[in-house]
Structures are given as structure tokens and as C-alpha cells.
């Protein structure tokens, strides 16, 4: 899961950089790249990262030995 978040983050960052280049130079296709990056990949990456952090927090709570139930 962590590896997929890093890969998707790298892809999103590179596409966002490419989108900025296309938009600044007024090349065709900049709007489509902007829609793909901001409309699809960023929410997907946020969803994956939230799921990973939630799972990590649940594992930390399971290993918390301050509260021992007998």
C-alpha cells in the first residue's frame, strides 16, 4: 500500500508539472491534462493516503499497552 502511494504520488507530480508546462506555453492538451490530474489522480491519491494513515493508526492503537483489559 505504501509503495503504491509513492508511485501514484510520483505520477501525479510529474503529470502536474507537465500540465503547468502545457498551460504556461499555451500548448494544446493542457486542459485535458489538468482535468486528469486534478480531477482524477489527486483525489485518488488522497483517498489511498487516508486509508493508509487510518490503517496505520489502527495498528498503533492495537499495540498500545497503556490500557490493559483483564
- For the chain, the structural domain boundaries read 29-53
Give the model confidence (pLDDT) of 1-56 as tens digits: 778 778 888 888 898 899 999 999 999 999 998 888 888 888 888 888 888 888 87
Whole-number Å distance between alpha carbons of 35 and 22: 13
pLDDT at 70: 53
pLDDT at 8: 82
User: Strand, helix or coil at 68?
Assistant: coil
Dihedral, CA of residue 27, residue 30, residue 32 and residue 35, to nearest 10: -170
DSSP strands (E only) in 1-70: none
The terminus-to-terminus CA distance of the chain in angstroms comes to 34
Amino acid at each position: 500500500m505504501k509503495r503504491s502511494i509513492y508511485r501514484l504520488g510520483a505520477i501525479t507530480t510529474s503529470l502536474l508539472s507537465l500540465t503547468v508546462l502545457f498551460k504556461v506555453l499555451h500548448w494544446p492538451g493542457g486542459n485535458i491534462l489538468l482535468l486528469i490530474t486534478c480531477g482524477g489522480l489527486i483525489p485518488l491519491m488522497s483517498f489511498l493516503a487516508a486509508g493508509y494513515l487510518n490503517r496505520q493508526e489502527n495498528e498503533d492503537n492495537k499495540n498500545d499497552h497503556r490500557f490493559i483489559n483483564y
